[in-house]
């Protein structure tokens, strides 16, 4: 017979998982929603320009994300805490901000303009196995056989997704192979995220989540803005204050940034590491379904082949994570450390911000 106390704990735990699933549904659809917004913008040109360009979406979306983070984590951004950070901490934070806050999202958003959303999602799955490999090599972390098998399967899945693409315009020749430019940009963006992840693991694991998130988003937005100005000219953000852009960005920012991040934060308070990792692993599946429902983008044969291996990799990785958690006797512990929160989020891929 279940006591009232145990029943309360059970309901509380299910509630946390529900929040995580709702967040994943939102985050998983972010790529498809981003592409849909730019398509809407093509039907409402302003002086021959698309007001909802990918650069405008990224820039304004980051501003929305920054506002949300200040509301959620603003209390952590205080003088006593900031004074405790060393010079190495600030250098590491700056490197991570440039890599994961400016370079990676810029490359991924550019890739969305060149290739299908499904390719962006699947090729982006190269990030977890690369992170695992560098963690073993540079940080001397130990992994289980299951996690190793998952990393190998994911790598082969991404490689097949890239190599089996049918010939199309905009492909580049690399060593005799014709590779899509969009897929290459996603891969480069993933590499940037992996490097940032390794830096975070080695030097920033004890930094409060709010400080690292706010600094990354704020500095990343500034670096992206000035980089785009240098590369494309001052006219590139001409429509950044367009009312049409902002009315859609309030919806985008409100749903994906505010609601999604709020659900995820709420869920992390009561879910375990294993639960959050399992829910997060479904992000690419949700993304592919969203691409079909929102954009009518059906998977190609290359995506079916590569995606199948990636699903196998997710299965293996989850077995490995459960095995490690059971060995540490942490399967029922709550996510209460900064390191656990960061590691779970790092494996989720693009979340629209």
The helix-helix angle for 30-42 and 54-73 (nearest 10°) equals 130
Question: What is the domain partition of the chain in residue ranges?
Answer: 8-346
Q: How far is CA 87 from the centre of its chain?
A: 28
Task: Report how far apart, in Å, the C-alpha atoms of 71 and of each of 9, 214, 220, 291 are.
Answer: 28, 10, 18, 31
Using the predicted structure, report yes or no on whether residue 292 has a pLDDT greater than 90: yes
Question: Which residues are paired to 132 by β-bridges?
Answer: none
Percent above pLDDT 70 for the chain: 82
In tens, the pLDDT along 96-127 reads 999 999 999 999 999 998 899 999 999 998 98
Tell me which of 26-40, 163-177, 280-294, 322-336 is least confident. Answer: 322-336
Tell me which of 84-93, 167-176, 254-263, 292-301 is least confident. Answer: 167-176
In tens, the pLDDT along 73-101 reads 888 888 888 999 999 999 999 999 999 99
Q: Model's pTM, two decimal places?
A: 0.82
**Phi/psi of residue 90, each to 5°?**
-65, -40
Burial of 289 (0-12, 13-18, 19+ CB in 10 A): middle
pLDDT band at 326 (very low <50, low <70, confident <90, very high): low
Using the predicted structure, report yes or no on whether residue 47 has a pLDDT greater than 70: yes
302, 160 in Cβ contact below 8 A?
yes
So what's the pLDDT on residue 234?
78
Residues 246, 183: Cα–Cα separation, whole Å: 29
Using the predicted structure, report yes or no on whether residue 169 has a pLDDT greater than 80: no
In tens, the pLDDT along 194-222 reads 999 899 888 988 888 889 889 998 999 99
**Phi/psi of residue 49, each to 5°?**
-120, 150
Residues 136, 79: Cα–Cα separation, whole Å: 36
Question: Any residues with CB less than 8 A from the CB of 209 and at least 6 apart, and which?
Answer: 73, 76, 338, 341, 342
Using the predicted structure, report yes or no on whether residue 138 has a pLDDT greater than 50: yes
What value does the mean pLDDT take over residues 284-312?
A: 92
What value does the mean pLDDT take over residues 332-342?
A: 49
Which has more confidence, 203 or 258? 203
Residues 222, 238: Cα–Cα separation, whole Å: 16
pLDDT band at 333 (very low <50, low <70, confident <90, very high): very low
Please state, rounded to an integer, the average pLDDT across all residues of the chain: 82
Residues 185, 137: Cα–Cα separation, whole Å: 25
Residues 118, 49: Cα–Cα separation, whole Å: 26
DSSP-based helix, strand, coil % in the chain, nearest 5: 75, 5, 20
So what's the pLDDT on residue 221?
92
So what's the pLDDT on residue 247?
85
Using the predicted structure, report yes or no on whether residue 264 has a pLDDT greater than 90: no
Tokens for 230, please give them: 């240098």
Using the predicted structure, report yes or no on whether residue 310 has a pLDDT greater than 70: yes
Using the predicted structure, report yes or no on whether residue 290 has a pLDDT greater than 90: yes
DSSP assignment letter at 324: H
């Amino acid at each position: 017979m279940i006591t009232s106390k145990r029943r309360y704990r059970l309901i509380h735990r299910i509630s946390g998982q529900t929040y995580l699933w709702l967040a994943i549904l939102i985050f998983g659809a972010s790529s498809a929603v981003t592409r849909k917004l730019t398509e809407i913008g093509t039907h409402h040109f302003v002086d021959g320009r698309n007001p909802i360009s990918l650069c405008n979406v990224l820039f304004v979306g980051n501003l929305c994300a920054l506002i949300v983070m200040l509301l959620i984590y603003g209390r952590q951004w205080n003088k006593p805490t900031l004074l405790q950070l060393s010079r190495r901490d600030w250098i590491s934070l700056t490197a991570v901000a440039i890599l994961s806050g400016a370079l990676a999202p810029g490359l991924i958003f550019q890739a969305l303009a060149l290739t299908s959303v499904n390719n962006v999602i699947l090729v982006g799955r190269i990030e977890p196995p690369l992170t695992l490999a560098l963690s073993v090599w540079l940080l001397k972390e130990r992994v289980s056989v299951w996690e190793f098998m998952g990393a190998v399967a994911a790598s082969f899945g991404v490689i097949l997704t890239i190599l089996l693409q049918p010939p199309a315009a905009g492909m580049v020749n690399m060593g005799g192979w014709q590779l899509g430019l969009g897929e290459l940009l996603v891969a480069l963006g993933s590499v940037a995220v992996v490097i940032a992840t390794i830096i975070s693991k080695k030097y920033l694991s004890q930094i409060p989540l709010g400080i690292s998130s706010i600094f990354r988003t704020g500095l990343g937005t500034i670096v992206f803005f000035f980089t785009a100005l240098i590369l494309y000219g001052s006219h590139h953000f001409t429509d950044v204050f367009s009312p049409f852009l902002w009315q859609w960005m309030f919806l985008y920012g409100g749903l994906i940034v505010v609601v999604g991040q709020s659900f995820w934060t709420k869920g992390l308070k009561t879910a375990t590491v294993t639960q959050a990792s399992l829910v997060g692993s479904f992000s690419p599946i949700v993304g592919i379904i969203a691409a079909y429902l929102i954009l009518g983008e059906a998977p190609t044969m290359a995506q079916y082949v590569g995606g199948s291996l990636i699903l196998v990799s997710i299965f293996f990785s989850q077995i490995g994570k459960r095995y490690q958690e059971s060995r540490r006797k942490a399967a029922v512990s709550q996510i209460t450390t900064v390191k656990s929160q960061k590691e779970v989020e790092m494996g989720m891929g693009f979340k629209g911000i």
